[in-house]
Amino acid sequence: MSKAQEKSSLETIRIEFQEIKNEADIQKILAFEYDRAKETEMKMIKAYQAAGTCMMANYVFSPISKLKYFNDGKKTLEQLISEGKEVENVYLRLLIQLNVPSMLNYQKDIESDMAYLERHLATAPIELSYKNTMIKNLLSITKNKDLKDALLQINVEEES
């Protein structure tokens, strides 16, 4: 494989995250080796792993284990966002917030995360195809009409 064809660690984990279908897929993300990753990619890879940790709550039986996975992933993701807010870690938090039951009380950042994506997604240094995947994923899980409308208004087309 030539250097141009080689996928970065971040591109690899993005693909694997989009292909999650079961616990084994999440375990693969959690065990992802990013020692060859660029330093700039490491925090984003950790954000994907934090989201994966939250998702593990779907695959354990014990309510205590469910809550532990969710809280551990949420804590890590919140810490990463506080250290450096980026389009992708905000997207991951929004994805989780839209997916979790309201009893977990993890919806407080939905509006601010949406506003952040509306302002920054178009100019983020992310491939256009992945930006579209992000919007499609959020559209597929939100039940809120205003959020759907806002997502549909985001123009991610790169200027030529």
DSSP state of 158: P
Looking at the fold, whether 1 and 49 belong to one and the same domain comes out as yes
CA gap 53, 85 in Å, rounded: 19
Looking at the fold, whether 104 and 66 belong to one and the same domain comes out as no
Question: pLDDT tens digits for 92-114?
Answer: 999 999 999 888 999 999 999 99
Answer with the one of 51, 84, 117 that is the final residue of a domain.
84
Question: pLDDT tens digits for 17-69?
Answer: 999 999 999 999 999 987 777 877 999 999 999 999 999 999 999 999 999 99
Looking at the fold, whether 53 and 2 belong to one and the same domain comes out as yes
Q: Could you please report the per-residue DSSP string of 54-95?
A: HHGGGG-S-HHHHHHHHHHHHHHHHHHHHH---HHHHHHHHH
Q: Looking at the 3D structure of the chain, how many domains does it have?
A: 2
Q: pTM here?
A: 0.91
Looking at the fold, whether 93 and 15 belong to one and the same domain comes out as no
Helix (H, G, I), strand (E, B) or coil at 115: helix
CA gap 127, 8 in Å, rounded: 13
Enclosing domain of residue 76: 1-84
Answer with the one of 52, 84, 116 that is the final residue of a domain.
84
Looking at the fold, whether 55 and 132 belong to one and the same domain comes out as no
